[in-house]
Structure 1
Amino acid sequence: MTGLGALGFASPALLWGLLALPILWVLLRAVPPAPIRRLFPGVALLLGLADETQQADRTPWWLLLLRMAALAAAIIGFAGPVLNPEVKTRGAGPLLIVADASWASARDWPRRAERIGAALAEAALAGRPVALLSLTDPPPARLVFQPAAALAEALPGLQPQPWEPAAADWPALLPEGQFDTLWLSDGLARESRGDLLAALQARGTLHVAEPEGLVLALRPATYADGALRITALRSGPADAAEVVAIGLDPNGVERDLARVTAAFGTDSAAEAVFDLPPELRNRVTRFEIAGSRSAGAVALTDDAVKRRKVALIAPGAAREGLELLAPTHYLIRALEPSADLIEATLEDALLTSPDVIILADVAEIAAPDRLAEWIEEGGLLVRFAGPRLAAADSAGDPLLPVRLRAGGRSVGGTMSWGTPRALAPFPEAGPFAGLPIPPDVTVRAQVLAEPGPDLPARTIAALADGTPLVTRAAFGQGAVVLFHVTANAEWSSLPLSGLFVQMLDRLAVSARRAAPERGDLAGATWVAERVLDGFGDLADAGSVAGVPGDRLAAATPGPDLPPGLYAAGERRVALNVLTPDRVLARAIWPAGVTVEGANAPRETPLKGAILTLALAALLADILATLAVSGRLRGCAPGLWCWSWR
């Protein structure tokens, strides 16, 4: 098909007929119109008179112009005009269709599916065998060319996936021999496609169809300096992107909680800062780029951005100059960067609806019934031992996971150790599983639990001799956890170590500081609760298998590890499409590769419309000719009569 810009012609040779229009204009101007006959008796008086000057009548210019337009429209119509003609991939032999089919392809997927369908239809007419390859699907054992009609039936099942294409896995699976390739690119630069690109060029002609628009995406959200921060990325020119924070309202209905515009300026990345009150911040479940339907334009949130409200209750203020001995000193240092702390009386703290309440060596609880009701409704109570709790009678305290012996054990005490005791490895089924234990963490004193049938099941951390160090029990929808040592360094060196912070994190007392590391997730099996599809929609995970924590921390999304929200007990980790260091750039193709825009306007045949216009012009010419010659007349019975000329 020959084209003139956005206009193409199926039979361009017929356009040479337009050169005859000026000649036809001259001829029609030279030939006068047909004479008009009139009955007029007085004409007899003119007989015999000589008319020395004769002037022939001429066809009106507007009528000539109408005839020229009708003829020109007919010539153009029969030439087969097409608006925005598609580049055809005609050829002989097998055709391989490669689709990135990634999250970046989702924004205009219907157009891509149409392009693949058109290529299959063209191959079917030419009798070419076709193979369809999706780079986001697991590689098959063997790539087979088959009739185009068979692939066309399976085309609706091809969908974009919410992860990066694995182009590096495919070069070894390409069949031998020559074949042409149509590659539907997502428009992003990727180093992994180099080997596949070279292999395809070596086997035949490579034709690339990629979008002309830009790709927008989001990195995972972080919490810093009292605000939620998220970075928007662009692959091409864009002034700004509107980022929407989405979460649940008090009725459980998903709503837009806030909108912030990220201005790019001259950079390819822009940060959107959401300064939200804690009540709104903890409701945010994900961020989206407004108007962009793609998994890459969605960033799920997890424990890393949900700062819990933690109430710290201590028996009394620290004495001046002895801050290090204060029961809450190390708790404040451990929790302040990642939690909203409330230091008040227990009655006042309950009024603020905290997520966690920590009692540091509190033996007598001021409002036990209200506290018990709060726990049963889903609250987490964490208690630390101390001299007061060791001296109290635990038999009358219902808010302990285990019964305690009076007194306790310490180095040099009645039930003394010869030396401080180290910690035993954490149980595999407990919340601390997989955490490394520093060798310098030792315990010098503790409160002892009374033996009982439930004690082993409620022990989630123990000393090397098997003595419980941390116990836990469920209370309604909540739980009570007891550290059998003090919250300061008086009885152990645990509060001085990083293990102390990690244990609080595992108990969901605080938000995770940043992106999870292998040690943060190790020792637990993480089960997908909800997963993203290629278009950025969340759905139930279904039968997705559980993932070991160390693999979840190190892996990137793929067919066997879809992006989504993963849970282990009370903890939640979001596996997002983009990594924190991801950048976007336009794909650059080597010389010799034909590139077309996959988002180009659709091909529109104009032959029917232009021939209809030509026919209408010819009908108008007939009516105008009758009118000029005086033969167009009519009469409405009983009303009026009319005639031309």
Structure 2
Amino acid sequence: MTMIAGLGFTAPWLLLGLLGLPLLWILLRAVPPAPKKQIFPAVTLLLGLSDKDSQSDRTPWWLSLLRLLAVAAAILGFAGPVLNPTRDTAGSGPLVLVLDGSWAGATNWQETGKQISSRLEEAGRANRPVALLQLTAPKALQFQAAATWQQQLPGLLPRPWQPSADQIDAATAHLAASDQRFDSLWFSDGLAYAGQQDLTEALSSHGAVTVISSGLPILGLLPPVAKDGALEISLLRSAPGGPTLGAQSVEVLARGRDPGGTHRTLTQVTAQFEPGATSTSLQLALPAELRARIERFELPDQRSAGAVALSDDSLRRREVALISSGAPDEGLALLSSLHYL
């Protein structure tokens, strides 16, 4: 990229067209040759008539100037101007974008997509070939133009699981199959998992590695468990605390269908993380009828698979009846201790 007074150009060779503007000015201001005079007898019939519309023999200077400015603006536009481009992050050579692409990054996926788009724009201005490697769905490295990946970016979605050992081995094999040098930008979801160190070493063997992470805590909701006649709900968070993550309150919603069949929030509770704690739990006591309607628990501010816990029949308290056919009389059967329990 060429820099001129703080303004960068992705196609600076197009600026050579500005040198042709003086020639264009001369052509626009050139006086056409004088017309040849030829006497025509019938013209005498037009003597004495005046023409209200007059036409200049040359283009007005202000109109020529406007036309030249329009051409100059078109040349500058096609040259790809960029105001104060960041030359230190553009780099050169091939670039690999590595994404965890797991459930932990689903909540901030839109922000991650904007960062990826920004990096692709920088790579495009620097004419760097780019390859993308999503660890939850690893594929062979394909270096393409940044504009090509920009078109495929809307279809890039996180997966509801973390990278498994087999997927990490597959990603490492794809990296080992490439014999060229490249830099790596790793968009991390913020969770640690097995195989990260091996993958880091594989990326470092090809070039510089830069890890990008939001640093925000990641919350997870464990499946509810029936305990002592109540529901025990457990939550986890990725960061134990610190100056910005001491005590933390998290809302938990119990969703299900009301008697009319409408899906709604049946109850809402608050879980409290103590300073320095990475886990917490709470007890939720509900009437049997309301408890049987709960279908799922979820964290309203977290949109990921880890922020949803589905309930099943093990959480419901069902009424059970035992009927004994030993008594011949129906009235005696209804009075039997084995009839109802």
**1:199 and 2:208 correspond:** no
CA distance in 1, matches of 2:286, 2:212: 43
CA contact 2:184–2:210 (8 Å) conserved in 1 = yes
Distance 1:88 1:245, change over 3 A: farther
Distance of 1:95 and 1:152 partners within structure 2? 14
Match of 2:179 in 1: 176
Indicate yes or no: 2:166 matched with 1:156.
Answer: no
Tell me if 1:235 matches 2:238.
Answer: yes
Match of 1:410 in 2: none
- Per-residue deviation at 1:249? 0.6
Equivalent of 1:257 in 249, 262, 266: 266
Residues 1:95 and 1:363: Cα distance change in structure 2 (over 3 Å): farther
Partners of 2:315 and 2:135 in 1: CA distance: 33
Measure how far apart 1:201 and its partner are: 1.2
Q: Residues 294-331 of structure 1: CA distance to partner in whole angstroms, max 9, x if unpaired?
A: 2111111112212322123346xxxxxxxxxxxxxxxx
- Name the CA distance, whole Å, in 2 between partners of 1:292 and 1:365: 57
Instruction: Name the SS of the counterpart of 1:177 in structure 2.
Output: coil
Higher helix share: 2
- Paired residues, number: 243
Counterpart for residue 455 of structure 1: none
For 2:191, give the aligned amino acid. L
Distance 1:110 1:204 in 2: 28
Tell me what 1:114 maps to: 114
Residue identity matched to 2:298: E
Q: TM-score, normalised by structure 1?
A: 0.36
> C-alpha deviations, 1:204-229, integer Å up to 9, x for none?
01111111211111011111110111
Q: Take 1:87 and 1:229, find their aligned partners in 2: how far apart are those partners? A: 54
Contact kept in structure 2, 1:247 and 1:284, CA below 8 Å: yes
**Residues 1:363 and 1:210: Cα distance change in structure 2 (over 3 Å):** farther
Q: How many Å separate the matches in 2 of 1:365 and 1:215?
A: 61
Query: Comparing both chains, which one has the higher relative contact order based on Cα–Cα distances under 8 Å and sequence gaps of 6 or more?
Result: 1
Map 1:113-132 onto structure 2 (within 5 A): 113-132=113-132
Equivalence map 1:89-488=2 (5 Å)? 89-137=89-137, 139-140=138-139, 142-166=140-164, 167-174=168-175, 175-236=178-239, 237=245, 238-266=247-275, 267-314=277-324
Superposition deviation, residue 179 in structure 1: 0.6
Return the alpha-carbon distance in structure 2 between the equivalents of residues 103 and 188 of structure 1: 10
Q: Is the 8 A contact 2:93 2:129 kept in 1?
A: yes
CA contact (8 A) 2:100 2:134 kept: yes
Q: Provide the residue aligned with 1:321 in structure 2.
A: none
Residue 187 of structure 1: how far off its partner (Å): 0.9
> Residue 364 of structure 1: CA displacement?
6.2
- SS of the equivalent of 1:186 reads coil
Structure 2 unmatched runs, 5+: 7-81, 240-244, 332-337
In 1, Cα distance between equivalents of 2:255 and 2:309: 10
CA contact (8 A) 1:218 1:297 kept: yes
Deviations 1:568-593 (A, max 9, x none): xxxxxxxxxxxxxxxxxxxxxxxxxx
Structure 1 residues 81 and 96, CA gap change in structure 2 (3 angstroms): closer
Distance 1:313 1:144, change over 3 A: same
Q: Output the CA distance in 2 between the equivalents of 1:276 and 1:190.
A: 37
Deviation of the 1:157 alpha carbon: 0.3
Aligned to 1:241, what secondary structure does the other structure show? strand
Cα deviation, residue 160, structure 1:
1.3
Shift of 1:121: 1.3
- Distance, in Å, in 2 between the alignment partners of 1:153 and 1:81 is 24
Contact 1:247 1:283 in 2 (8 A): yes
Q: Is the 8 A contact 2:230 2:286 kept in 1?
A: yes
Whether contact under 8 Å (1:221, 1:299) holds in the other structure is yes
Task: Give, in whole Å, the separation in 1 of the partners of 2:141 and 2:169.
Answer: 15
Instruction: Note if contact 1:218-1:299 (Cα within 8 Å) is conserved in structure 2.
Output: yes
Counterpart Cα distance in 2 of 1:302 and 1:231: 16
Instruction: Give TM-score, length-normalised by structure 2.
Output: 0.65
Q: State the Cα deviation string for residues 143-201 of structure 1 (Å, max 9, x = none).
A: 22111111111110001111112334310111222110011100112233221111001
**Superposed counterparts of 1:497-576, under 5 Å:** none
Give me the whole-angstrom Cα distance separating, in 2, the residues matched to 1:81 and 1:177. Answer: 32
Shift of 1:261: 1.3
**What SS is found at the alignment partner of 1:245?**
strand
Contact 2:133 2:171 (C-alpha < 8 Å) held by counterparts: no
Q: How much does 1:251 deviate?
A: 1.0
How big is each residue's C-alpha offset from its partner over 1:92-146, in whole Å with a ceiling of 9 and x where there is no partner? 2111001111111111111111111111111111111111111122x33x32211
Identity of aligned residues (%): 45
Aligned partners of 1:125, 1:232: CA distance in 2, in Å?
A: 45
Distance 1:162 1:87 in 2: 37
Q: Which has the larger radius of gyration?
A: 1
Secondary structure class of the residue paired with 2:181: coil
Paired with 1:184 and 1:168, the residues of 2 have a C-alpha distance of: 18
